Protein backbone atom coordinates (compact mmCIF):
# COMPACT_ATOMS: atom_id res chain seq x y z
CA UNK A 1 0.00 0.00 0.00
CA UNK A 2 1.20 3.53 -0.75
CA UNK A 3 -1.06 5.10 1.86
CA UNK A 4 -4.40 4.62 3.51
CA UNK A 5 -7.10 6.90 4.87
CA UNK A 6 -6.12 9.49 2.28
CA UNK A 7 -8.55 11.80 0.49
CA UNK A 8 -7.27 12.58 -3.00
CA UNK A 9 -9.16 15.21 -5.01
CA UNK A 10 -8.45 15.51 -8.74
CA UNK A 11 -9.00 18.34 -11.19
CA UNK A 12 -8.93 16.22 -14.34
CA UNK A 13 -7.50 18.68 -16.85
CA UNK A 14 -6.02 18.35 -20.32
CA UNK A 15 -8.41 16.10 -22.25
CA UNK A 16 -8.77 18.62 -25.07
CA UNK A 17 -5.05 19.30 -25.33
CA UNK A 18 -4.34 15.57 -25.25
CA UNK A 19 -6.64 15.12 -28.25
CA UNK A 20 -5.29 18.12 -30.13
CA UNK A 21 -1.70 16.84 -29.87
CA UNK A 22 -2.90 13.66 -31.58
CA UNK A 23 -4.94 15.39 -34.25
CA UNK A 24 -8.17 14.10 -32.70
CA UNK A 25 -11.43 15.90 -31.85
CA UNK A 26 -11.86 17.14 -28.27
CA UNK A 27 -14.55 14.51 -27.73
CA UNK A 28 -11.92 11.80 -28.23
CA UNK A 29 -9.92 13.37 -25.41
CA UNK A 30 -12.92 13.28 -23.10
CA UNK A 31 -13.52 9.62 -23.96
CA UNK A 32 -9.88 8.81 -23.19
CA UNK A 33 -10.20 10.75 -19.95
CA UNK A 34 -13.24 8.75 -18.86
CA UNK A 35 -11.47 5.50 -19.62
CA UNK A 36 -8.45 6.62 -17.63
CA UNK A 37 -10.66 7.64 -14.71
CA UNK A 38 -11.84 4.03 -14.54
CA UNK A 39 -8.19 2.95 -14.50
CA UNK A 40 -7.30 5.52 -11.81
CA UNK A 41 -10.16 4.25 -9.65
CA UNK A 42 -8.69 0.75 -9.84
CA UNK A 43 -5.22 2.08 -9.01
CA UNK A 44 -6.56 4.15 -6.11
CA UNK A 45 -8.32 1.11 -4.65
CA UNK A 46 -5.14 -0.92 -4.96
CA UNK A 47 -3.18 1.94 -3.36
CA UNK A 48 -5.36 2.09 -0.28
CA UNK A 49 -6.92 5.49 -0.99
CA UNK A 50 -9.95 5.98 1.23
CA UNK A 51 -11.65 8.81 -0.67
CA UNK A 52 -11.21 9.82 -4.31
CA UNK A 53 -13.12 12.92 -5.41
CA UNK A 54 -12.99 14.01 -9.04
CA UNK A 55 -14.11 17.19 -10.81
CA UNK A 56 -16.31 15.76 -13.53
CA UNK A 57 -18.26 18.78 -14.76
CA UNK A 58 -18.33 22.29 -13.35
CA UNK A 59 -21.07 24.91 -13.22
CA UNK A 60 -18.94 26.86 -15.71
CA UNK A 61 -18.65 24.00 -18.23
CA UNK A 62 -22.19 24.48 -19.57
CA UNK A 63 -20.91 27.26 -21.85
CA UNK A 64 -18.85 24.79 -23.87
CA UNK A 65 -20.02 23.87 -27.40
CA UNK A 66 -23.27 21.92 -27.31
CA UNK A 67 -21.86 18.85 -29.06
CA UNK A 68 -18.98 18.64 -26.57
CA UNK A 69 -21.36 19.02 -23.62
CA UNK A 70 -23.62 16.26 -24.96
CA UNK A 71 -20.61 13.97 -25.33
CA UNK A 72 -19.44 14.67 -21.77
CA UNK A 73 -22.94 14.03 -20.44
CA UNK A 74 -23.01 10.68 -22.19
CA UNK A 75 -19.63 9.78 -20.71
CA UNK A 76 -20.88 10.59 -17.22
CA UNK A 77 -23.91 8.41 -17.74
CA UNK A 78 -21.48 5.65 -18.73
CA UNK A 79 -19.29 6.36 -15.72
CA UNK A 80 -22.19 6.09 -13.29
CA UNK A 81 -23.26 2.95 -15.13
CA UNK A 82 -20.08 1.00 -14.30
CA UNK A 83 -21.88 -0.51 -11.32
CA UNK A 84 -20.74 -4.12 -11.76
CA UNK A 85 -17.09 -3.09 -11.85
CA UNK A 86 -17.51 -0.69 -8.92
CA UNK A 87 -19.19 -3.39 -6.86
CA UNK A 88 -16.43 -5.82 -7.68
CA UNK A 89 -13.91 -3.27 -6.42
CA UNK A 90 -16.01 -2.52 -3.34
CA UNK A 91 -16.28 1.16 -4.33
CA UNK A 92 -19.10 3.30 -2.98
CA UNK A 93 -20.27 6.05 -5.34
CA UNK A 94 -21.36 9.48 -4.19
CA UNK A 95 -22.13 12.69 -6.02
CA UNK A 96 -21.63 16.35 -5.15
CA UNK A 97 -23.16 19.26 -7.04
CA UNK A 98 -26.07 21.65 -7.20
CA UNK A 99 -29.09 19.82 -5.71
CA UNK A 100 -31.41 18.52 -8.40
CA UNK A 101 -34.30 20.57 -6.99
CA UNK A 102 -32.26 23.78 -6.97
CA UNK A 103 -33.68 26.24 -9.53
CA UNK A 104 -30.15 26.86 -10.85
CA UNK A 105 -29.31 23.13 -11.29
CA UNK A 106 -28.75 21.92 -14.84
CA UNK A 107 -28.10 18.18 -14.53
CA UNK A 108 -30.30 16.45 -17.15
CA UNK A 109 -32.87 13.94 -15.94
CA UNK A 110 -31.15 10.95 -17.55
CA UNK A 111 -27.88 11.78 -15.80
CA UNK A 112 -29.76 12.31 -12.54
CA UNK A 113 -31.25 8.83 -12.88
CA UNK A 114 -27.82 7.31 -13.53
CA UNK A 115 -26.39 9.11 -10.49
CA UNK A 116 -29.22 8.00 -8.20
CA UNK A 117 -28.97 4.39 -9.40
CA UNK A 118 -25.18 4.27 -8.93
CA UNK A 119 -25.46 5.67 -5.41
CA UNK A 120 -28.20 3.19 -4.52
CA UNK A 121 -26.54 0.15 -6.08
CA UNK A 122 -23.14 0.75 -4.45
CA UNK A 123 -24.38 2.01 -1.06
CA UNK A 124 -23.43 -1.18 0.79
CA UNK A 125 -19.85 -1.25 -0.45
CA UNK A 126 -17.30 -0.67 2.30
CA UNK A 127 -14.19 0.09 0.27
CA UNK A 128 -13.05 3.35 -1.27
CA UNK A 129 -15.56 6.16 -1.72
CA UNK A 130 -15.62 7.70 -5.20
CA UNK A 131 -17.28 11.10 -5.20
CA UNK A 132 -18.00 12.67 -8.58
CA UNK A 133 -18.50 16.43 -8.68
CA UNK A 134 -21.02 17.13 -11.43
CA UNK A 135 -22.70 20.49 -12.05
CA UNK A 136 -20.49 21.58 -9.20
CA UNK A 137 -18.88 24.89 -8.28
CA UNK A 138 -17.31 25.61 -4.93
CA UNK A 139 -18.46 29.22 -4.86
CA UNK A 140 -22.03 28.10 -5.55
CA UNK A 141 -21.69 25.52 -2.76
CA UNK A 142 -20.50 28.09 -0.22
CA UNK A 143 -23.20 30.57 -1.27
CA UNK A 144 -25.83 27.82 -0.99
CA UNK A 145 -24.60 26.94 2.50
CA UNK A 146 -24.75 30.58 3.59
CA UNK A 147 -28.27 31.01 2.18
CA UNK A 148 -29.43 27.80 3.87
CA UNK A 149 -28.20 29.08 7.21
CA UNK A 150 -29.68 32.53 6.65
CA UNK A 151 -33.11 31.09 5.92
CA UNK A 152 -32.88 28.93 9.04
CA UNK A 153 -31.90 31.91 11.15
CA UNK A 154 -28.64 30.21 12.13
CA UNK A 155 -25.54 32.21 12.94
CA UNK A 156 -23.09 31.99 10.04
CA UNK A 157 -19.62 30.99 11.12
CA UNK A 158 -17.01 28.50 9.97
CA UNK A 159 -18.55 25.60 11.89
CA UNK A 160 -22.11 26.18 10.70
CA UNK A 161 -21.00 26.77 7.12
CA UNK A 162 -19.14 23.47 7.12
CA UNK A 163 -22.25 21.66 8.33
CA UNK A 164 -24.33 23.22 5.54
CA UNK A 165 -22.12 22.21 2.61
CA UNK A 166 -23.57 19.92 -0.07
CA UNK A 167 -21.88 16.93 1.58
CA UNK A 168 -21.03 17.82 5.19
CA UNK A 169 -19.48 14.42 5.90
CA UNK A 170 -16.99 14.65 3.04
CA UNK A 171 -13.62 14.56 4.84
CA UNK A 172 -11.05 17.30 4.35
CA UNK A 173 -8.90 16.91 1.24
CA UNK A 174 -5.41 15.58 1.98
CA UNK A 175 -3.95 16.37 -1.44
CA UNK A 176 -5.38 18.24 -4.42
CA UNK A 177 -4.21 17.08 -7.84
CA UNK A 178 -4.18 19.27 -10.96
CA UNK A 179 -3.11 17.65 -14.21
CA UNK A 180 -1.83 18.88 -17.58
CA UNK A 181 0.78 21.28 -16.26
CA UNK A 182 -1.71 23.90 -15.07
CA UNK A 183 -0.47 25.53 -11.86
CA UNK A 184 -3.71 27.06 -10.64
CA UNK A 185 -6.70 26.03 -8.56
CA UNK A 186 -10.14 25.87 -10.15
CA UNK A 187 -13.52 26.41 -8.47
CA UNK A 188 -13.27 22.97 -6.85
CA UNK A 189 -13.61 22.03 -3.17
CA UNK A 190 -12.20 25.37 -2.04
CA UNK A 191 -13.68 24.89 1.42
CA UNK A 192 -12.70 21.25 1.85
CA UNK A 193 -9.15 21.61 0.48
CA UNK A 194 -8.10 24.61 2.58
CA UNK A 195 -4.54 23.94 3.72
CA UNK A 196 -4.08 20.86 1.55
CA UNK A 197 -0.92 20.51 -0.54
CA UNK A 198 -1.33 20.63 -4.31
CA UNK A 199 0.26 18.10 -6.63
CA UNK A 200 0.72 19.68 -10.04
CA UNK A 201 1.20 16.94 -12.62
CA UNK A 202 2.47 17.65 -16.14
CA UNK A 203 0.54 14.62 -17.42
CA UNK A 204 -2.72 15.32 -19.24
CA UNK A 205 -5.54 13.52 -17.49
CA UNK A 206 -5.75 10.66 -20.05
CA UNK A 207 -2.06 9.95 -19.26
CA UNK A 208 -2.31 10.31 -15.48
CA UNK A 209 -0.61 7.19 -14.18
CA UNK A 210 0.01 5.12 -11.10
CA UNK A 211 3.31 6.94 -10.59
CA UNK A 212 1.48 10.28 -10.69
CA UNK A 213 -0.95 9.06 -8.05
CA UNK A 214 1.90 7.73 -5.91
CA UNK A 215 3.55 11.16 -6.05
CA UNK A 216 0.32 12.82 -4.89
CA UNK A 217 -0.14 10.38 -2.00
CA UNK A 218 3.49 10.86 -0.95
CA UNK A 219 2.95 14.63 -0.92
CA UNK A 220 -0.10 14.18 1.30
CA UNK A 221 2.01 12.18 3.71
CA UNK A 222 5.03 14.47 3.84
CA UNK A 223 3.45 17.93 4.09
CA UNK A 224 1.56 18.65 7.32
CA UNK A 225 -1.69 20.55 6.81
Nearest to 96 by CA among 167, 146, 189: 167
HSE of 43, CA atoms in CB hemisphere, 13 A: 17
Contact 217, 2 (CB under 8 A): yes
Q: Determine which one of 61, 87, 125, 187 is catalytic.
A: 61
Residue 13 known to be catalytic: yes
Beta bridge partners of 178: 11, 200
Element (H, E) at 58: strand 51-58
Query: What is the Cα–Cα distance from 218 to 44, expressed in whole angstroms?
Result: 13
Query: What is the Cα–Cα distance from 13 to 87, expressed in whole angstroms?
Result: 27
Contact 198, 8 (CB under 8 A): no
Query: What is the Cα–Cα distance from 24 to 78, expressed in whole angstroms?
Result: 21
Query: What is the Cα–Cα distance from 185 to 148, expressed in whole angstroms?
Result: 26
Q: What is the 3-state secondary structure (H, E, C) of 69-110?
A: HHHHHHHHHHHHCCHHHHHHHCCEEEEECCCCCCCCCCCCHH
- Give catalytic residues, as residue numbers: 13, 61
Amino acid sequence: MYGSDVHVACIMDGNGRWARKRGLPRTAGHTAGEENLAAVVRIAVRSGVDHLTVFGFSTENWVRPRQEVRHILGLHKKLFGRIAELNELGVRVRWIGRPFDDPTARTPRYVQRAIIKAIRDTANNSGMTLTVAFDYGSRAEIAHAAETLRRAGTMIDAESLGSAMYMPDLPPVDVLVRTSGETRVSNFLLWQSAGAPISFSTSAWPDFSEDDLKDAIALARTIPH
